[in-house]
Chain A
Amino acid sequence: MPELLFREALNQAMTEEMERDEKVFLIGEEVAEYDGAYKVSEGMLARFGEKRVIDTPIAELGFVNIGIGAAMGGLRPIVEVMTFNFAILALDAMVNTAAKARYMSGGQLTVPMVLRGAGGAGGALAAQHSQALESQYTHFPGLKVMMPATPADAKGMLKTAIRDPDPVVFIESEVLYRMKGEVPEGEHLIPMGKGEIKRSGKDVTVIAWSRQMWNLLHMVDDLCEETGLDIELVDPRTLRPLDEELLFDSVRRTHRVVIVEEGHRMNGFGAEISDRIQQHCFDQLDAPVTRVTNLDVPMPYSPPLEEKVLPNRQRIVEALRAVAYLD
């Protein structure tokens, strides 16, 4: 299997889908002439021409609405936001138009659109550009939310998102764009709402997605050695609709849960997972579901402080020890 960078896997997904379906097009800031702010759309302008790879002004509300209108009209737009911090400007379009169109039109209007771009902290991008905003979208019925952790998932999930008949918010990690992994060639599709056990273990279920899952995958052996625990890593991949049964099955085997998530603790998506676990697996829990989140402060610019604020190894170990009652 060829090794690709995360951004190359995304590029491959979009390219394959645009070749497969001429209704698919890409629109956003710097996606065409500049090959994308993070080079995700590298070479796509040359390949598909300016009618299908379209640069826009810096006006998120405007071009997200263009995407929604195009989708209602029968096309399948991929709308790239440079980061999801800027997509806040287009939140009205997503929440009030994209998410509601099918419902309020009695099914006459649909919005088969993907809103994608970078989310989460990227390294010294400071308070306004380091936010994990997934819970802003998972709140609303009518939106689907996907967050891949590996290049292979990035490809398989984006292809599925593009084919989905409804608006999909597809949040990528800025840090992961340059990470490498094996990616299946050709028709590689990961179903919507299907999570994956990335590592089997019997002692503790650790739930994470996107960059936090990637980080865990690369430190899990050390964590197991340090704590003496056999850790199971579960990646829901799609946050909405959530693959609850996968999570519950794991919890029923390990009886203890740590959720590692970027973003602020209050109302973070992990709180939703925690709630569903206590609701459905109450008798299976031997310890409170424990969350490792960003500290409750705006992201500092200073890299050492950013490292402190993000979920880090030390706090993950503390959480693991807490749920396993290791004193």
Chain B
Amino acid sequence: MADVVEMIQLSPTMEEGIIVEWLKKEGDAVETGEILAEVETDKATMEMESFFDGTVLKILATAGEAAPIGSAIAIIGEEGEDITDLLAELEGGQGTSAGTGDDSTADEDDAGAKAADADSGDQGAADRPDEGPGDAESKASEAKGRSTRDDGRILSSPLARKIAEEHGLRLEDIEGSGPGGRIIQRDVEAAAREGRRPAATVAAPAAVVDAVAPGEDVPLSNMRKTIARRLGEAWQAPAFMLTREIDMGAAVAFRRQLNDAAAATERGVRISVNDLIVKAAALALLDVPEMNAAYQGDSLRMFSSADIGMAVSVDAGLVTPVVRGAHGKSLGTIARESRALIGKAKDRKLRPDDIEGATFSISNLGMFGIDHFTAVLNPPAAGILAVGQTRRVPVVAEDGTIGAGDRMAVTLTCDHRAVDGVVGARWLQAFAAYLEHPTLLVL
């Protein structure tokens, strides 16, 4: 019996995958664990392994094609096996099965077909004795838990939609408790009581470009789509920004000292300013744990580990690989891991584990000569730090004399639903202290 290879979920937010390249072609033998294809998800290009041994009998999704999760993309079986029935079945059953509405329609048709059979035969109608609501109900509960949004539709009752509209609520923001996750009256009413925010301010429609202006329309890559969606969401959070300057004199000297020592002893490691910043941020999160949080609607998640996301620019956009447990890692380890992650990001080899779940993020544009900027939150984390370049500037010393100093401006963007201004200010204070007294970074 041949097996159907389905598009699997390679990242938690992935809805479809684009086959970049088939590494096996029809007729090739394949073993479990061998790489079948490279798949571009919304986050990264991933290798998709075979779960089956056998021969690739048929490739159903061609390279370049987007395949939704769960859709059949290939068939693997015995060489020479007849798969016409299987293909016919896939042909028939490939339609969207989202929603119990569709299910019950199919059900009715089924009953109809059976009744038609009965006309030609004898009492064939007895084949299907149970058409009661209990039947429909059990199907509905089967559907429960299955992702209902494979095709992007949100299941909701007509009444739920009407009430949501009246309250200016977005269905996207409401969890459905009905069969298959259907949003029903009580869900919308509960959301209305909680006062979820209105569509009027939330729905950020994509700007419609005037058709008159000439130009080329470039289709969005999956990554671009994800950036657009996630940052669009992030933009709705009430955020505030705190800016301060940090004296980087000591940090610059400390880094030079470390790198000189490392070079002299051929340790093969080089610490960047960014590594110092990652470590300082992680330690500051331990000092001010309120900043290491995420707003979750009805609760705050207080993270126990400082997992620092670093915004990395790549060809198609932006990814945020994560240095996990940075508070407990040495600068050398942070340096090596960061380098590896950035390399993987450039090669588009990041795996979901590499990019999910930052508890705090850092975006550094200093290397581009940017003095100061603000960053958009990287949900769900409540904070992101925008880092400018370290500049030699004239500074006034305590005795009133003017001299040269190294200064870096940073801006902390905070999700105000999770943290308040004082928390952000205290965090910045701690962060600055680590960089101004950099030996603390190795304490």
Question: Which of A283, A290, A314 lies in contact with B136, CB distance below 8 A?
Answer: A290
In the complex, whether B429 has a CB less than 8 A from a CB of chain A is: no
A286-B159, A287-B184 are contacts. A319–B129 as well, Cβ < 8 Å? no
Distance in Å: Cβ of B339 to nearest Cβ of chain A: 52
Complex contact A283–B130 (CB within 8 A): no
Give chain B residues whose Cβ lies under 8 Å from the Cβ of A318: 132-134, 137
Question: Which of B115, B140, B157 lies in contact with A286, CB distance below 8 A?
Answer: B157
Interface string of A137-180 (1 = CB under 8 A from B): 00000000000000000000000000000000000000000000
In the complex, whether B153 has a CB less than 8 A from a CB of chain A is: no
Give chain A residues whose Cβ lies under 8 Å from the Cβ of B112: 266
Interface string of B90-129 (1 = CB under 8 A from A): 0000000000110010000001100100000001011011
A255-B185, A297-B126 are contacts. A288–B159 as well, Cβ < 8 Å? no
Tell me, in angstroms, the Cα distance from A287 to B129 when the chains sit together.
24
A295-B132, A297-B126 are contacts. A285–B158 as well, Cβ < 8 Å? yes
Give chain A residues whose Cβ lies under 8 Å from the Cβ of B184: 286-287, 325
Complex contact B129–A296 (CB within 8 A): yes
A255-B185, A315-B134, A322-B137 are contacts. A283–B123 as well, Cβ < 8 Å? no
- Of all chain B residues, the one with the shortest Cβ separation from A264 is B125
Question: Which of A258, A285, A290, A295 lies in contact with B159, CB distance below 8 A?
Answer: A285
Complex contact B178–A325 (CB within 8 A): yes
- Of all chain A residues, the one with the shortest Cβ separation from B159 is A286
In the complex, whether B177 has a CB less than 8 A from a CB of chain A is: yes
Give chain B residues whose Cβ lies under 8 Å from the Cβ of A290: 133, 136
A284-B159, A287-B157, A287-B184 are contacts. A296–B115 as well, Cβ < 8 Å? yes
In the complex, whether B301 has a CB less than 8 A from a CB of chain A is: no
In the complex, whether B283 has a CB less than 8 A from a CB of chain A is: no
- Of all chain B residues, the one with the shortest Cβ separation from A278 is B158
Distance in Å: Cβ of A306 to nearest Cβ of chain B: 13
Task: Select the residue from A255, A285, A296 with max chain B CB neighbours within 10 A.
Answer: A296
Interface string of B128-160 (1 = CB under 8 A from A): 111111101100110000000000000001111
Tell me, in angstroms, the Cα distance from A105 to B111 when the chains sit together.
41
Distance in Å: Cβ of B16 to nearest Cβ of chain A: 29
In the complex, whether A102 has a CB less than 8 A from a CB of chain B is: no
Give chain A residues whose Cβ lies under 8 Å from the Cβ of B177: 325
Interface string of B161-174 (1 = CB under 8 A from A): 11000000000000
Q: How many residues of B contact A (CB 8 A)?
A: 32
Tell me, in angstroms, the Cα distance from A255 to B189 when the chains sit together.
14
Task: Select the residue from B115, B123, B136, B159 with max chain A CB neighbours within 10 A.
Answer: B159
Main secondary structure of the interface of B (DSSP, over half): helix
Complex contact A296–B131 (CB within 8 A): yes
Complex contact A283–B158 (CB within 8 A): yes
Complex contact B125–A292 (CB within 8 A): no
Distance in Å: Cβ of B187 to nearest Cβ of chain A: 10
- Of all chain A residues, the one with the shortest Cβ separation from B100 is A288
In the complex, whether A184 has a CB less than 8 A from a CB of chain B is: no
In the complex, whether A41 has a CB less than 8 A from a CB of chain B is: no
Give chain B residues whose Cβ lies under 8 Å from the Cβ of A314: 134
Q: Which of A271-303 contact B (CB under 8 A)?
A: 282-288, 290-293, 295-298
In the complex, whether A199 has a CB less than 8 A from a CB of chain B is: no
A287-B157, A325-B184 are contacts. A296–B128 as well, Cβ < 8 Å? yes
Distance in Å: Cβ of A51 to nearest Cβ of chain B: 46
In the complex, whether B437 has a CB less than 8 A from a CB of chain A is: no
Complex contact B123–A298 (CB within 8 A): yes
Complex contact A283–B133 (CB within 8 A): no
In the complex, whether A313 has a CB less than 8 A from a CB of chain B is: no
In the complex, whether B244 has a CB less than 8 A from a CB of chain A is: no
Q: Which of A305-320 contact B (CB under 8 A)?
A: 314-315, 318-319
Give chain A residues whose Cβ lies under 8 Å from the Cβ of B178: 287, 325
Give chain B residues whose Cβ lies under 8 Å from the Cβ of A285: 157-159
In the complex, whether B225 has a CB less than 8 A from a CB of chain A is: no
Give chain A residues whose Cβ lies under 8 Å from the Cβ of B185: 255, 286
Complex contact A322–B133 (CB within 8 A): yes
In the complex, whether B186 has a CB less than 8 A from a CB of chain A is: yes
Listed by A's residue number, 12 A-B pairs whose Cβ atoms lie within 8 Å are A255-B185, A283-B158, A283-B162, A286-B184, A290-B133, A293-B131, A293-B132, A296-B125, A296-B129, A297-B125, A314-B134, A322-B137
6 smallest CB-CB distances across A and B, nearest first, come from A319-B133, A286-B159, A286-B185, A318-B134, A283-B162, A286-B157
B residues in contact (CB < 8 Å) with A: 100-101, 104, 111-112, 115, 123, 125-126, 128-134, 136-137, 140-141, 157-162, 177-179, 184-186
